[in-house]
Structure 1
Amino acid sequence: MDSLINAAGRALAAGDPLGALKRVALRDDAPALALRGIAMAQLGDFAKAKALLKDAARAFSSRETVARARCVVAEAEIALVSRDLGWPEKALRSARATLAAHGDRLNAAYAGSLEARRLILIGRLDEAERLLSDFDPAPLPPVARVAHELAAAGVAVRRLRTKAARSAFGRASLAAYEANIPALKAEVEAASLVLNTPVGRLIARGTEKDLLLDEVETLLTSGALVIDACRNVVREADAVVSLATRPVLFAL
């Protein structure tokens, strides 16, 4: 791999897509196409990024399976960021297996975090939790740790485990500052706002009060009657009645 490719890769790792493009913008070889695609993704031009990554995957030879798998992971990240949940999960799973088989633990772990975050978004929390528990993020570089901890926080938030979510967001924040990438710091800060944003409303004795996530968690264990608009259920103590198929009752 030549010096310009190495320099562009370092620039991307440091969150400097323009610096990366200065080095490879005029090149059409496979590694340069892949780096250009990642740079465009960091700049927010997802359509161009996807096109470049597809070109890169085709440009790599059939023997360069690891490079092709990395392109698939990059495409999956773009799909996740743009909320394209129809992106084929089998491709990401296959890429993760390829990377793991060839000893690329970093990108395999990153692929696993992306897969978990997609599962969270489509409500498959059990699968996401199992996937995250399969590897220890501690030895990973900061960027990969951020991805893992954000996924862990996503599961905890949806499980109403506020303490676990706060811890995961804290670890993600530390990793983001260690990486020193402004966009990554901003992503963690934006995601963690859920802990300090009202997510429910308590109506009792003629008064109303907005509730934070930890207050909702406490309320659910109090035995009070709770109408859960996120899950379309009514709860009281250990009793849970689903109104998902009865929208009129829920609206009332």
Structure 2
Amino acid sequence: MKTDPLIQAAAQALAAGDPLGALKRVALRDDAPALALRGIAMAQLGDLIRAKALVRSAARAFGARQAVARARCVVAEAEIALASRDLAWPAKALRDARAILEAHGDRANAAHAAYLEVRRRVLIGHIDDAERLLAALDPTPLPPALRAAHELVVAGVALRRLQTAAARVAFARAKQAAYEARIPALIAEVESASHTLKLPAARLIASGEERLLLLDEVEALLASEALVVDACRHVVQKTGAIVSLTRRPVLFDLAYQLAEAWPADVPRDMLIARAFRTSHADDSHRARLRVEMGRLRTMLGALAEVSATRRGFALMPRHGHRVVLLARPVEETHAAMLALLADGESWSSSALALALGASQRTVQRTLDSLAAAGKAQSFGRGRARRWMAPPASGFATTLLLSAPLALN
């Protein structure tokens, strides 16, 4: 087949991160290759709606006999869906496209499809699945831009695992590959992502004092012998032993108060007021408090003892180790949702529901309350409605996006 010099030049411009240069060559053409390149160029320029329409038109124009070209269009559409946070986009179509590309020897685009699937799984909190997919990929033969993408995904998974040393190494490799690719947008993306390691990720509260922690300090704390009540993930842990209280909000609230006051105890009336949301404690509340404290004592088991004192209750870690409270860097009721909205992309309510593991109606109510408070904003109408929030500058959101995610 005769090579089209304009198509080739446009493709090279896109590969170099120059969408305007690509559009100059194919903007007035409506053949299938030109439509595909125009769609990718519009995606790089941020017009995702137009990009999606162009890529779909290109897939139809290629026809059934051009399976590889159509598969590449599917991969491009999947990337646009990921960028627009359309997480309900059919993942099977991407897997089928990847299989076609691998069967025809297009390893670079097949790898790109795999990385899109990994990134989607990370976004919705399926870290184990993402890690398994990632382990099967070899970035060595890939071009620099894809090697950078690989390392960014590796770093993203490592950050979710709180493996900061691995994340730092991956960011360094991503930076090197990005500079080899000579794509300014990619270099900027790597620099922005790696900056997460330098941002406060949590607050340490211990013995009445508090200070901000970086991610590597959080990792070191969780590996220590301290009993950690983790308000970022709603767990209590010590040297690898973890007790999840994610689905037991009252028990976690009680554990939070006991850790915050340690080594002192907490008066019964204070525990009741905060845990049961009442300002008037009566005998029924005190009876319920005894029951809930018994449940907390049972769940903590070998990690700590919940002891009754003359005026209330106290948390007593086993073997005399200290108790610390790991809190969010800034207190926020809907921190997980705001962390997603602050990633710079626009989200649909259905995508947020998928990522948070909540019902779409619950998510919509939360979005309405955030919008009323000026913390979120929407644009578009109906099915095209999308939500965003300004980035919470100065703080890392890694600990707010642990799996499984949940609305608070």
* Superposition TM-score, scaled by structure 1 size: 0.96
Counterparts of 1:20-31 in structure 2, within 5 Å, are: 20-31=22-33
Distance 2:106 2:18 in 1: 23
User: Pick from 59, 62, 65: which aligns with 1:63?
Assistant: 65
What is the one-letter code of the residue matched to 1:40? M
What is the one-letter code of the residue matched to 2:102? A
Distance 2:155 2:24 in 1: 36
Give the secondary structure class of the aligned counterpart of 2:179. helix
Counterparts of 1:1-252 in structure 2, within 5 Å, are: 1-251=3-253
Is the CA contact (8 Å cut-off) linking 1:199 and 1:213 kept in structure 2?
yes
Once the two structures are overlaid, the 10-residue window that deviates more, 165-174 or 130-139, is 130-139
Deviations 1:212-235 (A, max 9, x none): 111111101112232334432221
What is the one-letter code of the residue matched to 1:211? L
Q: CA 1:56/1:251 → structure 2, altered by over 3 Å: closer, same or farther?
A: farther
Give the secondary structure class of the aligned counterpart of 1:226. strand
What is the one-letter code of the residue matched to 2:20? L
Distance 1:221 1:6 in 2: 53
Gaps of 5+ in 2: 255-408
Distance 1:195 1:132 in 2: 22
Higher relative contact order (Cα pairs below 8 Å, separated by 6+ residues): 2
Give the secondary structure class of the aligned counterpart of 1:140. coil
Gaps of 5+ in 1: none
* Superposition TM-score, scaled by structure 2 size: 0.60
* CA-atom RMSD in angstroms: 1.3
Once the two structures are overlaid, the 10-residue window that deviates more, 21-30 or 194-203, is 194-203
Q: CA 1:251/1:180 → structure 2, altered by over 3 Å: closer, same or farther?
A: farther
Deviation at 1:142, TM superposition (A): 0.9
* Equivalent pairs, count: 252
Distance 1:82 1:232 in 2: 30
Is the CA contact (8 Å cut-off) linking 1:27 and 1:33 kept in structure 2?
yes
Distance 1:61 1:19 in 2: 27
More helix by share: 1
Once the two structures are overlaid, the 10-residue window that deviates more, 221-230 or 10-19, is 221-230
Deviation at 1:121, TM superposition (A): 1.0
What is the one-letter code of the residue matched to 2:6? L
Deviation at 1:78, TM superposition (A): 1.4
Q: CA 1:229/1:25 → structure 2, altered by over 3 Å: closer, same or farther?
A: farther
Give the secondary structure class of the aligned counterpart of 1:201. strand
Deviations 1:9-68 (A, max 9, x none): 011011110010010001111000000000000000101100100111111110111111
Is the CA contact (8 Å cut-off) linking 1:198 and 1:210 kept in structure 2?
yes
Deviation at 1:251, TM superposition (A): 4.4
Deviations 1:153-177 (A, max 9, x none): 1111111111111111111111111
Is the CA contact (8 Å cut-off) linking 1:114 and 1:147 kept in structure 2?
no
Q: CA 1:229/1:58 → structure 2, altered by over 3 Å: closer, same or farther?
A: farther
Give the secondary structure class of the aligned counterpart of 2:89. coil
Q: CA 1:121/1:164 → structure 2, altered by over 3 Å: closer, same or farther?
A: same
* Structure number with bigger Rg: 2
Give the secondary structure class of the aligned counterpart of 2:65. coil
Deviation at 1:206, TM superposition (A): 1.9
